[in-house]
């Protein structure tokens, strides 16, 4: 019986969240986080390129295209003190940056 109430509550939360996100989208507001390489304009809607992070993205892509492994790229970024959005770089964060770069720009081998 308790499971049924929990399931019902999850459905309510999902429904409210979906509705709130739809309202934000209809108002032209951003839904979701700010991707690495960008910062939010003062208008709260427009994404602007973040110069330092854009350089980091290009560096990651260049290292990968030169044949460096994802683990080696991660270690290099951390040893060079290149800042990430979190505490340090992880292979998964490098993969995410490369996937976004690949979908937006030129060829980059994964």
Per-domain residue ranges of the chain:
1-32, 48-104
pLDDT tens digits, residue range 54-94? 999 999 999 999 999 999 999 999 999 999 999 999 999 99
Calpha distance 83→37 (Å, rounded): 12
Q: How far is CA 54 from the centre of its chain?
A: 13
Residues near 38 by beta carbon (within 8 Å), at least 6 away in sequence: 47, 48, 49, 50, 53
Could you tell me the pTM of the whole model? 0.72
27 CB-side CA count, 13 A: 12
């Amino acid at each position: 019986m308790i499971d049924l109430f929990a399931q019902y509550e999850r459905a309510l939360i999902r429904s409210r969240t979906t509705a709130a996100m739809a309202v934000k989208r209809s108002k032209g507001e951003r839904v979701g986080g700010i991707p690495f390489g960008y910062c939010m304009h003062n208008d709260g809607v427009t994404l602007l390129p973040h110069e330092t992070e854009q350089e980091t993205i290009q560096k990651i892509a260049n290292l990968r295209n030169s044949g460096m492994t994802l683990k080696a790229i991660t270690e290099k970024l951390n040893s060079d003190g290149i800042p990430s959005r979190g505490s340090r770089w992880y292979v998964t964060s490098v993969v995410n940056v490369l996937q976004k770069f690949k979908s937006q720009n030129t060829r980059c081998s994964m």
